[in-house]
Amino acid sequence: MKGGKTSNDQEPDGRIPAWRRTKRERYESCDYGEKYDLRYASGLNDLSTLVERSWISRHIDGKTVLDAGAGTGRFIPCLWAEGRKVVALDSSQAMLAALGEKYPSVPCILSDIYALPLAEKSFDAVVCMHVLFHLPDWDLVLSGLVRAIRPGGGIFFEMRSGEHARLAEKFLYLFGLRKYRDRPKDPAAATVYVSRARVREAMEKAGLEPVRTLSYDLGHSYYLAPLSGFLESLFSRFPLFKSVFAFLELHLGSIMPPSLSYRSLYFGRKR
């Protein structure tokens, strides 16, 4: 099933924004699912996935879960625990095809996240990972996802830290390291960095009670940019270091200032 476009999906003159057209073209390439899996198979990205899966597994409950922006199914293993029923939703046929090959029993919905073909209050929980920070109007998408959750159900998502971006910019400028921050811009990225206060405001407006947050992904921190190659190699070649680092992030991230971490994980419960 594929949802139609809404006003949020278009410019005032009816055109789809250029950044979203570029993103769609990339995601629809026949080999993008394979490239995506390779990208997250080792190193810093695999470390982030380990932290995210562990944190979600620790706090999620309920029997029915929507994986919104499921991609190739990175989070299916942790969502399947305890006999949960998982539905995967994504706008990319190529990504869902890759997911279907790995998890043929998972129902898949081909749909734009701006036009969810879902009944209200139809899921106990929603997981939306590595999606919202790509959307300038992420708060509108968050509100749409919340409508699909039953009262008392939870939603899990992550955002790139606005506090980190602001402080790191000053830090890198002070030490003459701006080259590690001024990377070539990706026209399909449309990346947004959001403060904890802004996320909390959006969650409350959407009818969510903010429950927990976790600062994590220190490996991608701009402070450590000069060491990114070394860290990538370290975590790829020595899984033990990756496990230790993930353990530290999971246990210290709840008290770590968001200015130190590249990302923040959020868990909210629908009122």
Contacts of 227 (CB under 8 A, 6+ apart): none
Task: Please tell me the predicted confidence (pLDDT) of residue 177.
Answer: 56
pLDDT in tens, the chain (271 residues): 333 333 344 544 455 666 566 666 666 665 666 778 888 888 999 999 999 999 999 999 999 999 999 999 999 999 998 889 999 999 999 899 999 999 999 999 999 898 899 999 999 999 999 999 989 899 999 999 999 999 999 999 999 999 998 888 777 666 665 554 555 455 555 789 999 999 999 999 999 999 999 999 999 998 888 888 999 999 999 999 999 999 999 999 999 999 999 999 999 999 9
Inside any domain, residue 150: yes
Nearest to 242 by CA among 85, 53, 116: 53
At residue 188, the pLDDT reads: 56
Q: Kindly state whether residue 2 falls inside one of the protein's structural domains.
A: no
Q: What angle do CA 162, 48, 210 make, to 5 degrees?
A: 50
Q: How many domains does the chain fold into? A: 1
Question: 43, 50 in Cβ contact below 8 A?
Answer: no
**Element of type H or E holding 254:** none
Domain of residue 64 covers: 7-270
* 1 domain-assigned: no
- Domain assignment present for residue 53? The answer is yes
Give, as one character, the DSSP assignment of residue 185: P
The reply to whether 255 falls in a domain is yes
In a domain, 188, yes or no: yes
Coil vs helix vs strand at 187: coil
Q: CATH number of the domain at 17, please.
A: 3.40.50.150
Domain-embedded: residue 219: yes
Please report which residue ranges of the chain form alpha helices under DSSP H. 18-27, 32-39, 43-59, 76-79, 93-102, 138-147, 162-174, 196-205, 228-237, 239-252
Does 170 fall in a domain? yes
Q: Is 63 exposed, middle or buried (0-12, 13-18, 19+ CB in 10 A)?
A: exposed
